[in-house]
Amino acid sequence: MQIQPVLKKFALLNQYPSLIHAFSTRKGGVSDPPFHYLNLGLSTADDPERVKANRRLFFEALNIKEDRLVFPQQVHSANIQIVKKAGVVAECDALITDTPNLFLTVQTADCFPVFVYDPQNKVTAVIHSGWRGTAQNIVGKTIRAMRETFRCAPQNILVGIGPGVQKSCYQIDEKTAQYFDKQFLSPDGPGHFKLDLLEAIVLQLTEQGVLLEHIERDATCTHCATDEYFSYRRDGNYSGRMMGVIGMVK
């Protein structure tokens, strides 16, 4: 078993030496099946001590001290918080900071993790965007908050969208479909549709002025990539969690 975490990064963000970012896969780590191996979710039924060990491996691989982390208490909302210190932020699905050596985190297992960086104003953000958050335009609202609070110019903002459940595997019912424009929906049997959540997120970004060439996507489907990513839609309560992190060092 490979213990060292296998991490992914965005080329668009990787060009800045003072920016640390990554999102995890399920490869590496110490958890036993069905949470094998790099489960980073303490809310799962996995052994908490193994999850804590996995987190240590993850953050050590990035040279991040755990007392400099911010954890949003994700509730599938459009709540956004500007943070200046480490800790847990209640009922929140997006974090923004201009504080160096403060690292923002997000956990996913089908929802999309969105990483945001303004290299001009030195502002970072991270967003948890599942269908509920996307229906409430959490990504667009986060970009707007960066503009209003930190005077970030949208054309300078860079975005990496991590892996999530892709349209081919994302069937929804009519009740959920009503929250989305028809351009993101494809009929999939009586009363059901396939939802392109990734493209809905991209539109929210460009509507706020983010340039399309400043958006990098990992189009891997978490539901399909059984050996690479956890998926709640695929595995239910036996699914672990991936984690993303972004922050600036002095």
Residue whose C-alpha is closest to residue 8's, from 125, 133, 115: 115
Q: What pTM does this model have?
A: 0.97
Cα gap 248→250, rounded to integer Å: 7
- Tell me the C-alpha distance between 227 and 180, whole Å: 31
Residue 220: left (phi > 0), alpha (psi -120 to 50), or beta?
A: beta
Residue type, 141: K
- Which domains does the chain show, CATH number per domain? 7-248 (3.60.140.10)
Residues β-bridged to residue 243: 107
Label residue 1 by pLDDT band (50, 70, 90): low
Please tell me the distance from the alpha carbon of residue 68 to that of residue 85, in angstroms, as a whole number: 8
Mean pLDDT (whole number) for 1-18: 93
pLDDT value of residue 176: 97
Asked whether 115 and 147 are in contact (CB, 8 A), the reply is no
Ordered DSSP codes for 201-225: HHHHHHHTT--GGGEEE---BTTT-
β-pairing verdict for 112-118 and 158-161:
antiparallel
Q: In this predicted model, what pLDDT tens digit does every residue of 219-235 receive, in sequence order?
A: 999 999 999 999 999 99
DSSP 108-155: ESSSEEEEEEETTTTEEEEEEE-HHHHHTTHHHHHHHHHHHHH---GG
Q: Is the pLDDT of residue 101 over 80?
A: yes
Q: What is the pLDDT of residues 72-98, one digit of tens each?
A: 999 999 999 999 999 999 999 999 999
d(CA 80, CA 93): 6
